[in-house]
Amino acid sequence: MSSTKISILSLLMFFSAACSVFEPFVDRRRNAGETDLNKLYVGRSKKDAPAVCSNNLWTDEAQIQALADNECIKYGTGTHAVLTNTTHFTCRLLLPTHTYFKCEK
């Protein structure tokens, strides 16, 4: 196979896989197999302080706010989330923005 065909195939695979990469998510990853509750979650999000990874080019603030509000309601730590801080280039390559919230009632 020529290098041109390999390059085209690689780009096609990257772009087809990247479609799902642009969706914002709550940064709450589990440490598989961990029994200690203090070490179970490794993401920046806590039950009472959700952190959302997103890209400001594709995601509007309402989507980010809705994700944070749902986390507060899901864990019973509040009825809505209040924005506390935003950092850039601290999450993933295509979703570089961390938006931090605090749950309130």
Name the one residue in this structure whose structure tokens are 């780009």.
11
pLDDT digits (tens, 9 = 90+) for 3-19: 888 888 877 777 666 55
| Residue 37 pLDDT class (50, 70, 90 cuts) | low
Cβ pair 28, 43 in contact under 8 A: yes
Among residues 57, 68, 54, the alpha carbon closest in space to that of 103 is found at: 68
Of 48 and 42, the one with more pLDDT = 48
CB-count exposure of residue 96 (10 Å: 0-12, 13-18, 19+) = middle
Cβ neighbours of 98 (radius 10 Å): 20
pTM: 0.73
The pLDDT of residue 53: 94
Residue at token pair 């920046």: 44
pLDDT tens per residue across span 49-77: 999 999 988 899 999 999 999 999 998 99
Task: Give me the pLDDT at residue 22, please.
Answer: 81
Cα atoms found within 13 Å of the Cα of residue 4, Cβ hemisphere only: 0
